[in-house]
């Protein structure tokens, strides 16, 4: 049996101002499909400026949404191939 190595590269981009961090996560799948997701973090006005923390929170939220979108895509593909409704895929 031959094994094939497959790799995905996830890209994260951040847009920041003094109180908000927005993240966009994107993965391009081998079939050419791009899946995108967004995350957001807000700094409370009394908190210290810590851009890296905002990136971590917004990035984690974007990656979490990306994971859910990939699970939904896989679930839809299973249903399309089988012609029936399958059980939900859980994290």
Q: Does residue 88 surpass a pLDDT of 80?
A: no
Q: Does residue 90 surpass a pLDDT of 80?
A: no
**87, two tokens:** 């059980």
Q: pLDDT tens, 31-66? A: 899 999 999 999 887 777 877 899 999 999 999 999
Q: pLDDT tens, 76-86? A: 888 888 888 87
Judging by beta carbons within 10 Å of its beta carbon (0-12, 13-18, 19+), is residue 62 exposed, middle or buried?
Answer: buried
Q: Rounded CA gap, 46 and 19, in Å?
A: 11
């Amino acid at each position: 049996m031959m094994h094939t190595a497959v790799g995905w590269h996830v890209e994260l981009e951040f847009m920041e101002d003094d109180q908000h961090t927005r993240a966009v996560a994107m993965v391009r799948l081998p079939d050419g499909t791009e899946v995108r997701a967004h995350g957001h973090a807000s700094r409370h006005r009394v908190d210290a400026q810590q851009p890296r923390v905002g990136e971590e929170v917004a990035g984690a939220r974007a990656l979490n949404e990306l994971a859910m979108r990939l699970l939904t895509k896989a679930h839809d593909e299973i249903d399309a191939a089988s012609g029936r409704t399958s059980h939900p895929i859980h994290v």
